[in-house]
């Protein structure tokens, strides 16, 4: 079973995604014994998933509920769980006709102390406050991730921006946003999301500066740890910043 610290990271991940989808125009978040469902409401596999929750008493039943939910909407999806719990989950899923869907996602954490020094930014980083700033922010975020632009106003909208536990940060060059990040605080965890840089501006440390902006905001709010899920591109950057690899999330899907 996971440690209390890693359980807090899991809880923060679920809470942040609950906010993202439940305050969107199309998404839905459902929770029941053994399972939390995150649905963006669109056929985007990476944004539709079920999180298997301990104590894993009936993993096949929880996975079957997720399959019924998403198949009924004709959405691609996967279920996920901490790789450390593979002994409890993987054999049950394999026996029920599921298989590994993609590479595990690394979760990384950074301890935050009140005196943590934050490096100077390499560009003009500002908190997003106005509708025009939000428009520029979400366009850059979706372009940076290579996501369909039609989804930007559905998820990165004024309702999410207004949440007290959320802060959005944009890195500007002149009048253009080139890099983004988002902080979502859950208890003592500073969850960091939407770290994105336009392809033409990568390799200049902008993503690192936007990540530090979230860490600084989490420190100022009394958080004790920052957490994020790293991409292959971002993982070496976060490691250089001092983030440590804390866990992996496995991804499974049913056989056709």
pLDDT tens digits for range 150-167 = 889 999 999 999 999 999
Look up the pTM and report it: 0.93
Q: What is the pLDDT of residues 112-141, one digit of tens each?
A: 999 999 998 889 999 999 999 999 999 999
101: helix, strand or coil: strand
For the stretch 99-118, what's the b/e string if a residue is b when 16 or more beta carbons lie within 10 angstroms of its beta carbon?
A: eebeeebbbbbbebeeeeee
* Angstrom distance (rounded) from CA 107 to CA 116: 21
Q: What is the pLDDT of residue 1?
A: 38
Task: Give the pLDDT score at 43.
Answer: 92
d(CA 192, CA 187): 14
Distance from C-alpha of 32 to C-alpha of 6, rounded to nearest angstrom: 20
DSSP H helical ranges for the chain: 4-22, 59-73, 86-95, 131-145, 152-155, 158-161, 206-220, 235-241
Cα dihedral: 80, 83, 84, 87 (round 10): 80
Beta bridge partners of 30: 37
For residues 31-36, average pLDDT? 96
Beta bridge pairs of residue 70: none
Question: For residue 232, what pLDDT is reported?
Answer: 85
Q: What is the DSSP letter of 9?
A: H
Average pLDDT over residues 98-112: 95
Please confirm whether the linkage preceding 55 is cis (ω < 30° from 0): yes
Can you list the domains of the chain with their CATH numbers?
4-107+248-254 (3.40.630.30), 113-223 (3.40.630.30)
Q: Which of 211, 124, 140 is nearest to 172 (CA)?
A: 124
Distance CA 92, CA 153 (A): 39
Mean pLDDT throughout 161-190? 97
pLDDT at 2: 53
pLDDT band at 256, cuts 50/70/90?
Answer: confident
Tell me what the pLDDT averaged over the chain comes to: 94
């Amino acid at each position: 079973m996971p440690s209390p610290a890693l359980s807090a990271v899991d809880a923060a991940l679920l809470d942040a995604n609950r906010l993202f989808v439940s305050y969107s125009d199309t998404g839905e978040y459902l929770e029941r014994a053994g399972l939390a469902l995150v649905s963006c409401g669109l056929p985007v596999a990476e944004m539709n998933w079920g999180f298997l929750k301990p104590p894993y008493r009936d993993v096949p039943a929880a996975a079957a509920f997720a399959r019924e939910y998403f198949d009924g909407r004709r959405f691609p999806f996967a279920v996920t769980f901490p790789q450390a719990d593979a002994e409890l989950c993987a054999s049950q899923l394999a026996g029920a006709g599921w298989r590994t869907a993609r590479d595990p996602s690394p979760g990384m954490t950074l301890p935050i102390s009140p005196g943590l020094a934050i490096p100077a930014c390499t560009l003009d980083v500002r908190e997003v406050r106005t509708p025009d700033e939000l428009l520029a922010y979400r366009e850059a975020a979706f372009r940076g991730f290579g996501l369909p632009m039609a989804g930007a106003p559905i998820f990165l909208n004024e309702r999410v921006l207004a949440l007290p536990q959320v802060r959005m940060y944009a890195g500007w060059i002149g009048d253009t946003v080139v890099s983004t990040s988002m902080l979502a605080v859950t208890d003592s965890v500073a969850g960091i999301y939407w770290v994105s840089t336009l392809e033409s501006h990568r390799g200049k440390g902008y993503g690192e500066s936007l990540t530090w902006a979230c860490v600084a905001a989490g420190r100022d709010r009394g958080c004790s740890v920052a957490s994020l899920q790293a991409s292959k591109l971002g993982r070496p950057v976060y490691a250089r910043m001092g983030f440590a690899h804390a866990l992996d999330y496995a991804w499974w899907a049913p056989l056709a």
